[in-house]
Every structure is written in C-alpha cells, then in structure tokens.
Amino acid sequence: MKTRKLGKLGPQVSAIGFGCMGLSHAYAEKPSAQDAIKVLHAAIERGYTFFDTAEVYGPYTNEEIVGEALAPYRDKVVIATKFGFKKGNLGEVDSRPENIRAVCEASLKRLRTDHIDLFYQHRVDPGVPIEDVAGAVKDLIREGKVKHFGLSEAGIKNIRKAHAVQPVAALQSEYSLWWREPEEQIFPVLEELGIGFVPFSPLGKGFLTGKIAPGTKFGQGDFRNIVPRFQEENLKANQAFVDLLARVAEEKNATTAQVALAWILAQKPWIVPIPGTTKIDRMIENAGGADIQLTSKDLHDIEQAASKIKAQGDRYPENLQKRIDREV
C-alpha cells in the first residue's frame, strides 16, 4: 500500500489506516477476540501500518486485542490510542494531567508496548485548559512514552492553543462525502500549521458502502439505532450520495466504498482515513481505495453532483453533539 506522512511532524503511515473500534464497540456484530486478531493480522499482510484504538472502546478490550495482535509486528506499525474520559467510560470527560498519565500507563500495558505512537485527546475537556493537556502530553513525549500528540473533534481555538505548547501531529474528526464540515474552517488551519488529518467514519458508518438500505434494521446495541442520520426517512434522502458514488464506481470498475475513500485521499496529501471493519474481505476492499485514481474531471463531476445534495439528519444524537468543540 502507498504511504503518507501525517502532516509535517507526524509519522509515515499506510495511506489508509484501520479503525479498530468496531472490533469490540459500538456495533451489534462483534467478532471474538481471536477472529478480530485474524482480521488485524490480515490487514498487516495487506499493507496497513496505521491502527487506531482507544481505552473507551470496550472499554479496555479493544486495546487488549490490538496489543495482542500487533505485538509481533510492533516495529512495523503505528498505534494511535486516546485519553480523555473518566474511568474508561464515555460518559464524562476527564483530561486532568494526572488522568492523562494514568491512562497512558494503563494503555501501554494493554497495548504490550513501551510507547504510544500517537496519543489523542478523545474529546476536549472544558474543565481543563488545553494548554495543561498539551503540557501533560509533552512531558510523556519527553519521557519517551508517547511519540506524537493528537486531538479529536477539536475546534480552531483549542487546536492553536495546544499546538503552541506541544506541536499537534494530527487531528481526528469525522469526514466523508456526506459530512464535509471540516473543509470550511478546520482544513485551512491544519494546512497552515502542518497538522495531519485522520477522518473517522470515512464510509459514513457503513452507509456509503451501499450495503445499507432505508429498511435496514440494526441489531441491539448498535450505535446507529440512535443516530438521526440513520432514521429511515433520512436514509432515503441520503441514498443520493450512494447513487453518485456508484456511478463513478461503475466507470472505475471499483466499489462505492473504494471511490468514497479515493475521494477523501484526493482532497489533501496529508489526510489518512481510518475505515473499520470486522471482515477480512471488506478490509481488502477498503485497502483498494488507495489504488483508485480519480482524475480532475472525476473530482469536478463528483463536486458538481454532491453540491446539489444536502445530507439529512444530524450525525450524532443531541447529547453527543454537545461534546464536539466548535470554538473558533
């Protein structure tokens, strides 16, 4: 697989990374730990070198799976994980410096490693100055326990403040053909500061693969059951995005998922999407997105068609929308 550098200061990684969350969190169908490890091993064989996890995925079990799977390949892979919640629970943010250090130590053990390649603040904590957060990670970098500092769903003001204390290697936020908010204000700041961008949900939580129809029922415990964008009436309206990708895919002898990923890669050279899957064939399909070449005409045509479609439904329920930092 081709590689990319995450911004000016970040690591060199596979052009498409692997989002590990779904191996133990958020979706109804979860593989056994051993099956998850098989998927990760197959991903390494296919050329993936960038793996994204977090203590709250599970909680804790995701890091344990990733740690066991990647231990034999540790010097060949880049592992990203996250801090920022209280006791590994998604309920309450906690980015106090003492908690950041405690999470780091616990994550190192679960990941079976002596360093974390990319350590993200999972969500901005309004109760802790971002300068203190950056300072705490800076200390961990000095100690060799962390290589790079990242932010997730952070707004412009906090990106700048954090970067002034400890250079930010990457920002992680949602981004895809049907969620393009970061382009407007975030991208110019990332370009100015030399920060890489890691889109999560680059396939729209599965929707942009074309495998989810308006009548699709998700299993018990599946996060998409509470996402407004996945309500039936919104799925019907948003099908226009899938139809657009499918038209391009047919011309390229590719899948809609591959075109969706190729489109993201074509936006900026410092973007590395992290689609997730529990299936080896889907992982291989996603990797193929890095091989799809979209011409300037392709991109123009996609832009023209997409500009006439408005995504329907919020990407998060109201309680989770509040955790997104939009300070400018």
Query: Does residue 249 contact residue 259 with C-beta atoms inside 8 Å?
Result: yes
The residues, ordered by sequence, that sit 6+ positions from 132 with a Cβ below 8 Å of its Cβ are: 95, 97
Whether cis (ω within 30° of 0) applies to the bond prior to 59 is: yes
Amino acid identity at 101:
R
> Out of 57, 60, 120, 316, which one is annotated catalytic?
57
Q: What is the 3-state secondary structure (H, E, C) of 141-164?
A: HHCCCEEEEEEECCCHHHHHHHHH
The radius of gyration of the chain's CA atoms, rounded to the nearest angstrom, is 19
Tell me whether residue 57 is one of the annotated catalytic residues. yes
Greatest Cα pair distance, the chain, in angstroms, is: 54
Burial grade of 248 (CB within 10 A; 0-12, 13-18, 19 or more): buried
Q: Which of 181, 172, 173 is nearest to 310 (CA)?
A: 181
SS3 label, residue 224: helix
Active site residues: 57
